[in-house]
Amino acid sequence: MSITRLFRVYTYLYRQTRYPMISPIEGFSKLTKEEKVDWISEKYTQNKNASKALLKTYWNTDAGVQKLHDEFIENTISNYYLPLGVAPNFLINDKLYALPMAIEESSVVAAASKAAKFWLERGGFKTKVLGTEKVGQVHFMFTGDTGKLRSFFQKVKPKLLQSASSITKNMEKRGGGVTDIVLRDQSDLLDNYFQLHCTFETRDAMGANFINSCLEQFASTFKEEAKAYTDFTEAEKDIEIVMSILSNYVPDCLVRAEVSCPVKELLVSDSISAQEFAQKMVRAVAIAKVEPHRAVTHNKGIMNGIDAVILATGNDFRAVEAGMHAYAARNGRYSSLTDAAVENGIFSFSIEIPLALGTVGGLTSLHPLVKWSLEVLQHPSAEELMQIVAVAGLAQNFAAVRSLVTTGIQEGHMKMHLLNILNQLGATNTEKKTLIEHFKKNTATHSAVVDAFEKLRN
């Protein structure tokens, strides 16, 4: 038997010994939470008692709050906690904010706070909402005369809007609703592919359920009306609705945030002049504009700030991420979401991004900490939240690029990461205090922290 074959047999036997064959389970969702915890701990962990104890440690002691969490998703067995921090001193359009941020990454909240304080003394952040249009599409296949399809669409469009009137009624009372439906021929991209491209205004709601309900009604009406359209042949009447779904790419739901000041006010360090710092900032952003490898990391830093506020306010960070990165590649090449320039002695730093957010509905009225976060933000409208979130991204990016072109990213990051390393090493409170003081004057690399800890303990 070959060595490779022997190794495979050994690996198989080892796995069977350590992880015995597990049979599929029927009706898992119907078990109680305690039964789910027992089953997953017994079947998939090495120490079922430790697993059960760990999961129960993170149950909320308030039964009402825990029940709320249990009902957010299916098969809940525990809660997964992220730190919730606050970054103060954000001056946005001459109004002072403290930004709630839910994130696990070291240095993000500190960096945001540092950027906020820096620009507080230089006029703060200026923001403007450029559009609030959201998008949904009915995707369908049509084989036949496209001229007849266009004529059919023009006749049926009023009926589509009328058919959804019961869905749109309440939204229209709040100033929202369907703003347009357009027929798009995409058959050059995919044979026989067309779509109803629909736009919406959802006011302070993110509007996902509203949009999807409208789209499904449009699809149903469109298909039924096609069957009765006398100008179609029998084959043309058989329109295939593939799917009806909102889009998380919202290039016309835009917000802009910016900061600016005279170059001479950009004194950030004794080791670099204001002029040199401004020049380096502009060059760093220019590199992120043309080099996708850099742009991805550059924009990831922006999302550190954006995602943290979105999570804290109960919005969908995955939808925002997907739409944001699509927007970064809208010109055919992935690029920076921020801009920097120096003109007539004035340094400016800005961001323009698509953000579809909500402050009513969903978790915003259910999750206690989401409600708290919105209260801290002074109960913003959806448009105000767009501006706040854009500022969080801009501040985070300014802080990151500032570090990169001056001291380097690791100095600040590792000092914030220091406690994580010390906790991993099992340092006592006294040891932590001593080592934190030590690394105020020394570079905090992982190996340096381990060495200092071992010397101290020995």
Q: Transcribe 91-151 into DSSP letters.
A: EETTEEEEEEEE--STTHHHHHHHHHHHHHTTT-BEEEE----EEEEEEEE--S-HHHHHH
Q: Is 203 helix (H, G, I), strand (E, B) or coil?
A: coil
Please give the pLDDT value at position 429: 86
Amino acid 416: pLDDT? 61
Could you tell me the pLDDT band of residue 23, with boundaries at 50, 70 and 90? confident
Confidence of residue 12 (pLDDT cuts 50, 70, 90): low
Residue pair 245/138 in contact (Cβ under 8 Å)? The answer is: no
pLDDT higher than threshold 80 for residue 289 = yes
pLDDT per position as a tens digit, 322-339: 999 999 999 999 999 999
Positions marked catalytic: 105, 300, 316, 413
Q: How far is CA 255 from CA 200, 285, 323, 442, in A?
A: 17, 19, 13, 41
Which residue did the predictor score with more confidence, 454 or 4? 454
* Six token digits for residue 214: 């409208």
Distance CA(433)–CA(221), nearest Å, equals: 68
Over residues 89-102, mean pLDDT: 98
| Cβ neighbours of residue 319 closer than 8 Å, sequence gap 6 or more | 248, 356
25 Cβ neighbours under 8 A, 6+ residues apart = 39
Higher per-residue confidence, 6 vs 430: 430
More confidently predicted of 128 and 428: 128
pLDDT in tens, 134-144: 999 999 999 99
**Whole-angstrom Cα distance, residue 443 to residue 458?**
21
Q: What are phi and psi of 187, to 5 degrees?
A: -70, -15
* Whether pLDDT at 20 is above 70: no
Residue 417: the pLDDT is 67
Answer yes or no: are the C-beta atoms of 434 and 298 closer than 8 Å. Answer: no
Site of tokens 């854009």:
390
Mean pLDDT on 125-129: 98
- Beta-ladder partners of 373: none
Q: How many CB atoms lie within 10 A of CB 62?
A: 10
Residue 192: pLDDT above 60? yes
Say what the pLDDT of residue 16 is. 60
Q: Other C-beta atoms within 10 Å of 445: how many?
A: 14
pLDDT tens readout for residues 337-389: 999 999 999 999 999 999 999 999 888 888 999 999 999 999 999 999 999 99
Give pLDDT, residue 290.
Answer: 98
Confidence (pLDDT) at 19: 58
What confidence score (pLDDT) does residue 455 get?
84
Identify residue 293 by its one-letter amino acid code: H
Beta-carbon count within 10 A of 348 CB: 15
- Write the pLDDT tens digit of every residue in 389-424: 999 999 999 999 999 999 765 555 555 667 778 888
Q: Do 173 and 205 touch, CB atoms closer than 8 A?
A: no
DSSP 153-182: HHHHHHHHHHHTHHHHHHHHHTT-EEEEEE
